[in-house]
Structure 1
Amino acid sequence: MHLLFIFWIALLPMFNSPAAAPAAAGETRFGRDYCDIYGSVYLERDPKYKNTASRIVFLNEEEAFANMVVYRENNKLFADGRAIWFVTPTKAFADHILYVTDQRHQADFTVYFTDVRSSATCRD
């Protein structure tokens, strides 16, 4: 009887540990790391090179539904803050390569480009 009690005490932590809740679809791979994207960004549109991109993005036409409001900087040196991108025409000079999709449900996050630098933000 004493041995059965000790065995039960030893197994108790396995049964009391809460099961890990499944993460949301867009957060399983990256979480909210997309908020850390800034600097030079290359927007890949060719489906052949989709696997070379670090993330999949959908370009939103409405600011209200976007995960990130991005300011497009004209100089790479000034793209030094959260949600401030210098969109480079050359993949070799990019800090981040993002694949642009036409299907919102396939995207890791959505982006809206603004003309006002102070409006650039990442939403939770």
Structure 2
Amino acid sequence: MILIISFWLSLLPYLAAPQPTAPIPVTVASKDICRIYGSVYLERDPKYKNTAAYTVYLGEEEAFASMVVYRESNKLFADATAVWHITNKKAFADHVLYVTDNRNFADFTVHFTNVRSYAACRP
């Protein structure tokens, strides 16, 4: 009798196993490029492309840029939209962006300006 009970108890986890269900779809909020400001690290090594939040193309024409960025020399003053402090160390960056040479692979295009009041985001 004890042998039969122990046999049924050993099968219990397999009999009460939950049935597989369909995966629940997860909605991801769209990324807002206008929230990129502060210290930014521009990654150029393709090995680390997956560690970057966005892929950007640095364009020469302001008219075709999604974001016109002003380079701030002091990190404390890079506190507005499209005002970046370019850092040399990835560990000190608020945002990591991968720079591509192909405009078609970029999430958005960046043009750097010398005038702070021209800094703007055009999503």
Tell me, yes or no, whether TM beats 0.5. Answer: yes
Return the alpha-carbon distance in structure 2 between the equivalents of residues 121 and 85 of structure 1.
12
Percent identical: 70
1:101 offset after TM fit, Å? 0.1
Listed as ranges, the matches of 1:1-124 within 5 Å are: 31=30, 33-124=32-123
TM-score (norm: length of structure 2): 0.75
1:30 offset after TM fit, Å? 6.7
Q: Compared with structure 1, are the counterparts of its residues 44 and 30 closer, same or farther at alpha carbon in structure 2 (3 Å cutoff)? A: farther
Structure having the higher Rg: 2
- Could you list the structure 1 runs, at least 4 aligned residues long, displaced by more than 4 angstroms after superposition: none
1:74 is paired with a residue of what secondary structure? coil
Return the alpha-carbon distance in structure 2 between the equivalents of residues 103 and 81 of structure 1.
28
Partner of 2:8: none
Aligned residues: 96
Q: Which runs of 5+ in 1 are unaligned?
A: 1-28
Q: Which runs of 5+ in 2 are unaligned?
A: 1-27
Partner of 1:12: none
1:31 offset after TM fit, Å? 3.8
Amino acid at match of 1:75: N
TM-score (norm: length of structure 1): 0.75
